[in-house]
Structure 1
Amino acid sequence: MPQMVAIVILLFILYIGDFISIRTKAWIPSMFISAVLFLIGYWTFFPQDIVAIAGIPNTVATLLIYLLIVNMGTLLSVKELIAQWKTVVISLSGILGIVVLLFGIASFIFDMNTVIVAIPPLVGGIVSALIMSDGAAQAGLTSLSVFAIVIYVMQGFAGYPLTSIVLKKEGKKLLQQFRNGELVVKEEVEKTDNTTEKKHGLKIFQVPEKYNTDYFKFFKIALVGCLAYLTSTFLAPVVEINGAVLALVFGVIAKSIGFLETHALQKANGFGFAIMGLMLFVFDALKSATPSMLLDLLTPLVVCIVLGVFGMYIFSFIAGKVLKVSKNLAFAVSLTALYGFPADYVITNEVIKSLTSDDEERKALTSVMLPPMLVGGFVSVTIVSVILAGVFVTFL
Structure 2
Amino acid sequence: MDTMYAAVVLLACIALGELVSSLTRARIPSLLVAMLAMAALTQTGVFPASIAKASMFVGMATIMQPAIMVHMGTLLPIASLKKQWRPIVISVAGMACATLLILLVVGLVFGYGTAVAGTGPLVGGIVSTLLTTEGLTSAGLTTLATIPTLVLMLQALPAMPLTALFLKSHARRLIDSGEVRVERDPDTGAIQLSPEAQAEADRRVLVKLPASIRDNQLVLLFMVVAGGGLAMYLQGLTGVSYSIWGLALGIACVWTGVLPRASLEKASGFSLGMVAIIVVVAVPLMGASFSQIVTSLGAVVLILGVGMVGILIGGAVATKLLGWDLRLGMPVALTAMFGFPGDYLITTEVARTSSDDPEMRKSVQDRILPPMLIGGFTSVSAGSIVIASILVKTL
TM range (shorter): over 0.9
How far, CA to CA, are the matches of 2:283 and 2:33 in structure 1? 14
Contact map agreement 2:213 2:220 (CA 8 A) in 1: no
Give the number of aligned pairs.
Answer: 386
How far, CA to CA, are the matches of 2:223 and 2:96 in structure 1? 38
Contact map agreement 1:320 1:327 (CA 8 A) in 2: yes
How far, CA to CA, are the matches of 2:37 and 2:96 in structure 1? 33
Question: What does residue range 1-396 of structure 1 map to in structure 2 within 5 Å?
Answer: 1-43=1-43, 44-57=45-58, 59-178=59-178, 186=194, 196=201, 200-203=204-207, 205-209=208-212, 212-235=215-238, 240-396=239-395
1:208 deviation in Å? 3.4
Alignment deviations for residues 173-220 of structure 1 (CA, whole Å, 9 cap, x no partner) = 11211279699984556995xxx48x62213x5223377411211122
Query: Given the superposition, is the C-alpha separation of residues 340 and 147 from structure 1 closer, same or farther in structure 2, using an over 3 Å criterion?
Result: same
User: Structure 1 regions of 5+ residues with no counterpart?
Assistant: none
1:139 deviation in Å? 2.2
User: Structure 2 regions of 5+ residues with no counterpart?
Assistant: 184-191
Q: AA paired with 1:257?
A: T
State the identity as a percent: 30
Query: Given the superposition, is the C-alpha separation of residues 383 and 89 from structure 1 closer, same or farther in structure 2, using an over 3 Å criterion?
Result: same
Query: Given the superposition, is the C-alpha separation of residues 347 and 210 from structure 1 closer, same or farther in structure 2, using an over 3 Å criterion?
Result: closer
How far, CA to CA, are the matches of 1:41 and 1:6 in structure 2? 12
How far, CA to CA, are the matches of 2:143 and 2:11 in structure 1? 33
Contact map agreement 1:185 1:367 (CA 8 A) in 2: no
How far, CA to CA, are the matches of 1:371 and 1:265 in structure 2? 17
How far, CA to CA, are the matches of 2:196 and 2:82 in structure 1? 15
Contact map agreement 1:89 1:319 (CA 8 A) in 2: yes
Matched residue, 2:189: none
Contact map agreement 1:77 1:255 (CA 8 A) in 2: no
Q: AA paired with 1:125?
A: G
* TM-score (structure 1 length as normaliser): 0.92
How far, CA to CA, are the matches of 2:198 and 2:97 in structure 1? 35
1:104 deviation in Å? 2.6
Query: Given the superposition, is the C-alpha separation of residues 335 and 367 from structure 1 closer, same or farther in structure 2, using an over 3 Å criterion?
Result: same
Contact map agreement 1:185 1:364 (CA 8 A) in 2: no
In the TM superposition, structure 1's runs of 4+ consecutive aligned residues that sit over 4 Å from their partners are 179-192
